[in-house]
Amino acid sequence: MNHNRRVLLKGSLAAGAVGAAIGAGLLTPKAAVAAWAKAAFEAKDVNVALSSAMGSSDTTTTDKIKLKAPDIAENGAVVPITVTSNIDGTSSMSILVPKNAQPLTSTYTFGSNTQGYISTRVKMGKTSDVIAVVKANGKLYSTKKEVKVTIGGCGG
């Protein structure tokens, strides 16, 4: 009698532990992408997003990063952005659009042989600066450019 009661207790305890793990989001498929910086991407503020993604929001403006973006983007859903960093030791890069609801669009971590060059396409809600932040030798460098977004597509 007593023995059975022990077994039952143990069983329910174990089940409880698994349930808690699922509840905490530990066993969901999202956990597979554990490296994804959720806090950084969901931040609503540029500085918060930067500190979370790059470790600091203290950036030095430089002309060694070339940010190529259109002056006027007729379609905010597809804005081509090319960033070239000429700083030695570039290890990672982020592209931010401050006026988007969630400013951080993407972060790139480079391998040792990879050059500081990224070309991609981002979405922009409205006219805003585009900021490219580069991390090199533990320091942050940034450059920005304004892109005008004309929603009507009339090219104004």
Partner 1 sequence: MAKSIKLRAKAKGGVATVKCLISHPMETGLRKDKKSGKKIPAHFIQEVTAEHGGKSVLNAQWSGAISKNPFLSFKFSGANSGDSIKISWVDNQGKSDSLDGKIK
Binding pattern for the stretch 8-47 against partner 1, x by CB under 8 A and - elsewhere: ---------------------xx-xx-xxx---x------
Instruction: Check: CB of residue 131 under 8 Å from CB of residue 144.
Output: yes
- Strand-pairing partners, residue 24, are none
Which region among 1-9, 59-67, 102-110, 140-148 touches partner 1 (by CB under 8 A)? Answer: 102-110
Residue 137 binds partner 1 (CB under 8 A): no
Q: Please calculate the CA angle 74-78-80 and round it to the nearest 5 degrees.
A: 95
Q: Is 104 exposed, middle or buried (0-12, 13-18, 19+ CB in 10 A)?
A: buried
| 109/137 with CB nearer partner 1 | 109
- CA pair distance 75, 132, nearest whole angstrom: 20
Q: Shortest distance, CB of residue 83 to partner 1, whole angstroms?
A: 10
Residue 7 binds partner 1 (CB under 8 A): no
Among 106, 127, 139, 145, contact with partner 1 (rule: CB under 8 A): 106
| 14/22 with CB nearer partner 1 | 22
| 51/82 with CB nearer partner 1 | 82
Residue 79 binds partner 1 (CB under 8 A): yes
Residue 114 binds partner 1 (CB under 8 A): yes
Which region among 2-10, 55-63, 121-129, 139-147 touches partner 1 (by CB under 8 A)? Answer: 121-129
For residue 57, the tally of other CB atoms under 10 A from its CB is: 17
Instruction: Check: CB of residue 108 under 8 Å from CB of residue 92.
Output: yes
Question: And the tokens for 142?
Answer: 């940034």
| 45 φ, ψ (degrees, to nearest 5) | -120, 140
